[in-house]
Structure 1
Amino acid sequence: MFDGIFEAIENWMRDLLTGMVTSNLTTMFTDVNEKTGEIASQVGQTPQAWNGSIFSLIQNLSNSVIIPIAGMIITFVLCYELISMLTEKNNMHEIDTWMFFKYFFKMWVAVWLVSNTFTITMAVFDVGQYVVNAAGGVISSDTAINVESMLDAMETAMESMNIGELVVLAMESMLVSLCMKILSVLITVILYGRMIEIYLYTSVAPIPFATLSNREWGQVGNNYFRGLLALGFQGFFMMVCVGIYAVLVSTIEISDNMHSALFGVAAYTVILCFSLMKTASLSRSIFNAH
């Protein structure tokens, strides 16, 4: 009689632990599939599409506060340009008419750039959005993990385990599942931090754009434009990181050793977090922005 009771208790505990492990791992691998699409939808949005209210606030601040300052900078830069143009030709002894046409053309370009600052900056992020969306389609289609086959492998591997091993495995799966939740929070922080940086970067866009018409001062505008490209393509690097992560996780064999498989997922998760944090500096380094 007692043998039957103990056997029933053991079966109940086995079913409970197996269900717990299966639930945790199913959620974990499902999150891997969903994460690619989630990050693609976030980094693939332009600033005005991500949050229209914040974008309107930044645009109004730029138009009302920054553009008047950019106008003063344009005045200074154009005066400096005119003085340099006149004095570099043998102290105004060699002055040609074409020099003034060149000067007025630079003046028109400077005013046009400041007047269309937001159009130009948004064009950069439109290009970045196209690249990220195209990469998201390729990555999500190539790295989706077959959860059903994973479930079959997990159930087969757990059939040969005793109660003690299932308890340890359940605790490990809970730990890895918690790491996945923390990962989701960190990814959200990184994504929101990037968008806030974009809004801050675009809020002062008229000032560096006002320097582009001058050779000496134009370095400010050139570096700013490289920074815009770096921010736009940072989303692409983030997509590549998630794609690599999904490929690494999909190669883990559950049936061989479930313990090492769980810790392998945890290790890849830490690598993903570190890689996502490095995308900003990597992008700036590639585009030589500082």
Structure 2
Amino acid sequence: MAELWTLLTENPATFKGGGIWRIMVNINDALTAIAYGLLVLFFAAGIIKTCGSFTDLKKPEHVLKAFIRFALAQGAITYGMELMQALFSIVQGIVTTVMSGSSMAGSVTELPTEIVDKIESVGMLESIPLWIVTLLGSLLITVLSFVMILTVYGRMFKIYMYTAIAPIPISSFAGEPTQSIGKNFIRSYVGVCLEGAIIALACIIFSAYAASPPAVGDTELSAVTIVWNYVGELVFNLLVLVGAIKASDRIVREMMGLGG
């Protein structure tokens, strides 16, 4: 769980020493030149689409509106990286607030005393099936943990991809017919950043469950049965957590009205 908390609060600019971020910034700079060309293209297409005739272009309000749109789109491309970082900082502040408000970061679940006593009283032969059950449970928990960490890593990779390709969709703001591309891009980027808040909430809910360990049940049962029941319930809770984390992108899309 501590690894998840660390990844959720990590800044892409400093992640893994910042090497990946520098590459994305270089790609962003390279695509900026192409974006300026698309800016003119989208602007011209928008003028042709919105103005019915050359007479409309002579109207001051149309000229002013087109000029403002072009200037704003050009500014968005020029300062696109700053815009992306500002949006990330705002959403990351939400994630940090959610995590700090829970006061559950780094919480550790301990085995109930009844199970510990039962395990310590097991003989040599009885410890073999107990060892097998423990090994299976550990493997399942490890696999589920890897799935969760990979999902959080995937969010970080998506942020890198959005940052690198940003100038292209942002240039679509130059034309009124194509501005929906830029709007959807911004909303999708904010959605990817918000996935961190959803994942943090899922971890907080799981931590609340983990704070109340699974019931031991009948202490007269064998140690293997008690441990199996305990591990099974713990794995089930982890499966629910994995499902919530994997569904974070879908939840955000529904919240943002992105569909898909």
Q: If the length of structure 1 is used for normalisation, what is the TM-score?
A: 0.76
Deviations 1:159-195 (A, max 9, x none): 7767766543332222212222222322232222221
Q: For residue 14 of structure 2, what is the amino acid of its counterpart?
A: A
Note the C-alpha offset of 1:59. Answer: 0.9
Would the alpha carbon gap of residues 142 and 209 (structure 1) be closer, same or farther in structure 2, given more than 3 Å must change?
closer
Structure 1 counterpart of 2:29, from 58, 63, 68: 63
- Return the alpha-carbon distance in structure 1 between the equivalents of residues 206 and 80 of structure 2: 37
Q: Which deviates further from its counterpart, 184-193 or 226-235?
A: 184-193
Tell me, yes or no, if the aligned pair for 2:47 and 2:175 is still in contact at 8 Å.
Answer: no
CA RMSD of aligned residues (A): 2.6
Structure 2 counterpart of 1:98, from 56, 61, 82: 61
- Return the alpha-carbon distance in structure 1 between the equivalents of residues 23 and 105 of structure 2: 39
Would the alpha carbon gap of residues 265 and 92 (structure 1) be closer, same or farther in structure 2, given more than 3 Å must change?
same
Partner of 1:119: 82
- Return the alpha-carbon distance in structure 1 between the equivalents of residues 146 and 189 of structure 2: 26
**Is 2:240 the partner of 1:271?**
yes
Q: For residue 48 of structure 1, what is the amino acid of its counterpart?
A: A
Which runs of structure 2 are paired with 1:243-258 in the superposition (5 Å)? 243-257=204-218, 258=226
Give the match's secondary structure for 1:252: coil
Unaligned runs of 5+ in 1: 1-34
Partner of 2:179: 218
Note the C-alpha offset of 1:112. Answer: 0.3
Tell me, yes or no, if the aligned pair for 1:226 and 1:288 is still in contact at 8 Å.
Answer: no
Would the alpha carbon gap of residues 177 and 54 (structure 1) be closer, same or farther in structure 2, given more than 3 Å must change?
same
Structure 2 counterpart of 1:79, from 44, 49, 60: 44
Partner of 2:221: none
Structure 2 counterpart of 1:54, from 11, 14, 20: 20
Note the C-alpha offset of 1:197. Answer: 1.8
Q: For residue 202 of structure 1, what is the amino acid of its counterpart?
A: T
- Return the alpha-carbon distance in structure 2 between the equivalents of residues 233 and 85 of structure 1: 35
- Return the alpha-carbon distance in structure 2 between the equivalents of residues 124 and 234 of structure 1: 13
Give the match's secondary structure for 1:211: helix
Of Structure 1 and Structure 2, the greater helix share is in 1
Structure 1 counterpart of 2:70, from 82, 100, 107: 107
Structure 2 counterpart of 1:138, from 70, 85, 101: 101
- Return the alpha-carbon distance in structure 2 between the equivalents of residues 254 and 167 of structure 1: 24
Structure number with larger C-alpha Rg: 1
Q: If the length of structure 2 is used for normalisation, what is the TM-score?
A: 0.84
Unaligned runs of 5+ in 2: 219-225
Note the C-alpha offset of 1:217. Answer: 0.2
Structure 2 counterpart of 1:262, from 210, 222, 231: 231
Note the C-alpha offset of 1:245. Answer: 2.0
Deviations 1:3-27 (A, max 9, x none): xxxxxxxxxxxxxxxxxxxxxxxxx
Identity rate, percent: 18
